[in-house]
Structure 1
Amino acid sequence: MLPNTEERPDLLATIVSLAAQATLLQARIQTLREELAAVNARTRAISRSLHHMDAATARPSAESVPEAVDGRGRRRRKPAEGSLRTHNRVAKGRR
């Protein structure tokens, strides 16, 4: 039995239409992959930047740390080891 000749043009039109849609979808997939790669690269750059910022704030430089001062604007002295003040602090559970 021969195939119905009336359905053949519709079948060819469907195949052509589907092939055109497949081509458009493949182009869109490629565009989305490129955009995703750009977003991924930006995310990595931001992550590295934040990591460097965290590392910089975790280790402040000597210039960025204010000196400990008493209420009169003078630098506080650290008690010498073995002094009475150190002994009292240790006895009270402070250092």
Structure 2
Amino acid sequence: MSDIVTVDLVDTDGDLCAETAVIDSDGDGWVDTVSTDVDGDGYADVAEYDTNGDGWVDVTAVDVDGDVVADEVHIDTDGDGYQETVVTGPDAAVFPVDPLA
């Protein structure tokens, strides 16, 4: 009897990364945590922190819960205002969990 378990991973977009490892909900080729555009203006949120165009971030992103992920990057793939992952600590009230996810 073997202790090895085989799990089939799904790669729906053909990028050779299992969807459990990478989320690219808009199919633009960029991982959502890198290319989020919360305000929908067509610019990745991280680019908006370089207001003078010098290639350096001009402000520090807000990270209320201290998880080293900017608050606007918390995942809400369906755009309903609720994130799909559980948040604890000070962000729990700010970023409620999606009751339908």
- For Structure 1 versus Structure 2, the TM-score category normalised by the shorter chain is under 0.3
State the TM-score, normalizing by the size of structure 2: 0.23
Q: Compare relative contact order (CA 8 Å, sep 6+) and give the higher one, 1 or 2.
A: 2
Q: If you compute each CA radius of gyration, which structure gives the higher value, 1 or 2?
A: 1
Greater fraction helix? 1
